[in-house]
Amino acid sequence: MQKCDILIRDCIRLKPDMSISGTCSVVIKDTKIAKILENEEDAAEWAADEVLDGRGKLLMPGLVDGHTHTCQQLLRGRVSDEYPMVWTRFLVPFESNLRPEDSYISGQLACLEMIKHGTTAFADAGGVHMDKVVEATVESGMRAAIAKSTMDMGNAIVGAMKETADEAIAHTKDLYEAYQGAGDGRIDIWFAIRQVMTCSEKLVRMVGESARELHTGIHAHLCEHKDEVSFCLQNYQLRPAQYLEKMGVLGPNLLTAHNVLLSDRDISILAENEVKIIHCPRANLANHGFPKTPQILEAGLSVGLGCDGAAPSNLDLFDEMKVLRYSMMAYWGLPTFNPVVMPCASLLKMATQGGANAIGYGDVLGSVEEGKKADVILLNIAQPHITPTQNLINSVVEAANGHDVTDSIINGKLVMKNREVLTLDEEKIRFEAQKHMEEIIKRAY
């Protein structure tokens, strides 16, 4: 009898080619997927500390949220139906008034929600008191690439979060020294470029140099809205992607969020430099417009999905898949009579492998294969809104949602079982979050 940590019995699994396997059992040992067993007799040879019943469930890679803001969790419901710019009118005043304990509870609440929606890893673009977000993430069991918000330019209201370029880099390096590799290697500390309008040339260059020095990533907002493009053209006579290329920032370790207003040349530049692309469909459609996703994919770029934080909606990547699918069909597909402009399999790959690529772990995450890290979820498909179906991949994208996720395993450890998060106290977190939100509102507005 062989021993393992977790044995998932009698499930079906999402294969790397986006097809569905027959019934199988999956052995998880020492943080990895050790074996995928195709028959019952082989499964009987394993003794596990934890056995999960996979009947009626689809085993799939954990989803990866490639762009979020955990420090905006307590802004939920505030920015919808508001005129621009919500960033300066609401987000910055709110974040500027966060205290360490606020960022901690916000981080806990964000991780709790992500786990319950099937997300096993995320990239945080940064906020304030990110040491507390790291601590909350470590406790939750999640995997994350976490940055500290970085800006050294901007108007008076942005000034509350502004530092000098030297201070911004030093503070991120301090965070790196304290937390890189925390949580059994689940935490990576990245540098950030909040956006080109609030980061000086000196700071942008220093971010690129520092990331290379520490062999870590960079998280940036890019071509999110017209003001950003206009700013770059007026001040540097270059579009944002061209500007970042000139600054020496473009490369495989750069994750760019939104990417709505990319020109054809921008797409080529990003592809040449193997930059990782993240779309935030709901946030983009609400504020910025339709990205050139089909063209971006055609250029060979890796594309992932992000929720952009919970301020306007929720942290359910299943929702993001649906919104991107229908927006791309409406904007690019219908005018050219191309119903397959955004296939369901491509969207599922974005939410899994695309996100894994974005956080720098595309070789060990993003698919259910032997030897890969055991960051996986079980989806209850034995429900009338999913099965029976003639194409399960299509139905998962079109009909499933985060509430259908029953179990979550991250880094080989069971984090959620039968919809109960094992690492966080949900009732306590929600109670504390309500109190903190009310206190922040009094200070911020």
pLDDT score of 320 more than 70: yes
Cβ contacts of residue 153 below 8 Å, gap of 6+? 162, 197, 198, 199, 200
What letter would DSSP give residue 273?
Answer: T
Q: What residue type is 248 in one-letter code?
A: G
Cβ contacts of residue 73 below 8 Å, gap of 6+? 106, 107, 109, 110, 113, 309, 310, 433
pLDDT by residue (tens digit) across 3-19? 999 999 999 999 999 99
> What's the confidence (pLDDT) of residue 159?
56
SS3 415: strand
Cβ contacts of residue 97 below 8 Å, gap of 6+? 440, 443, 444
The two beta strands, 303-305 and 276-279, are parallel
User: How many angstroms separate the CA atoms of 15 and 23, rounded?
Assistant: 12
Work out the pLDDT band at 40, boundaries 50, 70, 90.
confident
Full-model pTM: 0.97
Contact (Cβ atoms closer than 8 angstroms) between residue 24 and residue 431: no
> What's the confidence (pLDDT) of residue 157?
53
Who has greater pLDDT, 47 or 158?
47
Angle at 318 between CA 122 and CA 107, to 5 degrees: 35
What letter would DSSP give residue 424?
Answer: S
pLDDT by residue (tens digit) across 374-388? 999 999 999 999 999
Distances from the Cα of 98 to the Cαs of 101, 109, 248, 266, 272, in angstroms? 8, 15, 33, 36, 39
pLDDT by residue (tens digit) across 41-79? 888 899 999 999 999 999 999 999 999 999 999 999 888
pLDDT score of 125 more than 90: yes
Angle at 442 between CA 433 and CA 79, to 5 degrees: 70
